[in-house]
Structure 1
Amino acid sequence: MTFQCYAHADNTREYIITSDAPRINSYDFMVVIACAGCVYFLGPTFTSYAVIALLIVSRIIVKLFMVTEETILVIRDVGAQVKTVYLGGRSTSRFIDRSKISDIIINEAITMMHIRVYLAIIVEGEDKMVVVFQHLLPRLNVLLQAYHGARSIIFNEKDHSDVPLEFS
């Protein structure tokens, strides 16, 4: 995972998390082996081709929802934009007006197996928080830099982050 911070101006900052995960992984090789095994054991029949098509289509669908990049762009007196970019190039964005931002927090989610730390924006009038970097879930030191930088821009606070701006 790669983290980058860009200060476009004194009143604007952008934090980008990029996934370094390989686009083709061991699951893709397992699908190829399963397809070859299907043709070998079932022969060139309609059933084997249907199974192969099902495996390939399911793998493509999984790849289309694979997140490659997540971004938060904060602009003083304007608000914040949270953006997610998927493997196929599709992206989703959400803009949160400054007047609607109640707070920016770092929170913990505790499950049976994991404790996840995440950055969230509390929006006035909404029941749910907007989780920033919700798919890639960077480490705490990355979240702290984004947290301090976003708060310094949105709430005009002093930026207390003293970690480097770029690291992997």
Structure 2
Amino acid sequence: MVDENSIVNGRYAYARECKWPIEAIDIHHIFVRRSRAKRFFLYLSVVFVLSNSLFIFLYKSESISMLLWSFVLSGFFVKLSLWKPVEKESVIIMPALGVQLETHYLSGRIIRRFFPLGKILRPVLLECVTPITCYWSLSLVVRDEGELTLVFKELRPPVKMLVPIWKALCATVDDKKGPDTDDGS
């Protein structure tokens, strides 16, 4: 069952899944919304380039190179439209065990990363600034890791979708009680 507190914008959709009691497993998904207009434009441009090259090839016998270039160009357009083959990224919070990060690709491949709760020191929200853009990212400070671990490796969801996940991660890390956790004393 998907929570009624879903958030949707132009590129992404956030959903919190509650199949089990909230104390057992808390699942947060960020879905990539696919645009039908973009897909239609892609197919239209591929058909246009192929038909144009076929027309040139049939009416001018020395234009085989034009036909080959049109195939290369069409392949480039297809690759460009499928640049982000990610379907969704998920954060599965298991308060008794740890946090599992999943990336689901359109091809069906799933990459999973698991972090035991005792190794997670803190979840942090960071503002990333590049010369071209500025965006927010959610990261985990993990013990014995040299650098921050990005929660969403492929996607860049807006901060309003990251805040509920960050709050859930903070609540889980702050409530951790176990024999292998270090409470600073």
Q: Could you say which TM-score interval applies, normalised by the shorter chain?
A: 0.7 to 0.9
TM-aligned CA deviation for residue 134 of structure 1: 3.4
Query: Structure 1 length as normaliser, TM-score?
Result: 0.77
Gaps of 5+ in 2: 1-11, 177-185
SS in 1 for 2:46: helix
Question: In 2, distance between residues paired with 1:96 and 1:124?
Answer: 10
Instruction: Kindly report the root-mean-square deviation, in angstroms, between the aligned alpha carbons of the 2 structures.
Output: 2.6
**Structure 2 SS opposite 1:41:** helix
Partners of 2:42 and 2:81 within 8 A in 1: no
Contact 2:129 2:135 in 1 (8 A): yes
TM-score, normalised relative to structure 2: 0.71
Within 2, Cα distance between the matches of 1:155 and 1:114?
A: 33
Change (3 A) 1:32 1:132: farther
1:131 maps to 2:150: yes
Provide the secondary structure at the position in 2 that maps to 1:112: coil
- Give how far 1:47 is off: 4.0
Distance 1:57 1:17, change over 3 A: same
Task: Say how many residue pairs are matched.
Answer: 157
Q: Deviations over 1:59-102 (max 9, x none)?
A: 25963851111100011131111111112222211111222212
Q: Distance in 2 between matches of 1:127 and 1:29?
A: 47
Query: 2: distance between equivalents of 1:25 and 1:147?
Result: 36
Partner of 1:164: none
> Distance between the aligned counterparts of 2:165 and 2:45, measured in 1?
38
For residues 108 and 2 of structure 1, the distance between their equivalents in structure 2, rounded to whole angstroms, comes to 20
Aligned with 1:127: secondary structure? coil
Q: Which has the larger radius of gyration?
A: 2
Which residue identity does 1:18 align to in structure 2? F
Segments of structure 1 that go 5 or more residues without pairing to the other structure are 158-168
Contact 2:92/2:100, CA 8 A, preserved across alignment:
yes
- Is 1:90 equivalent to 2:105 in the alignment? no
Letter in 1 for 2:49: A
- Greater shift after overlay, 47-56 or 136-145? 47-56
SS at match of 1:42: helix
The answer to whether the 8 A contact 2:57-2:67 is kept is no
Q: Which one has more relative contact order, counting CA pairs under 8 Å at least 6 apart?
A: 1
In structure 1, the residue matched to 2:15 is 4
Q: How does 1:72-151 map to 2 (within 5 A)?
A: 72-151=91-170
Identity of aligned residues (%): 18
Alignment partner, residue 71 of structure 1: 90
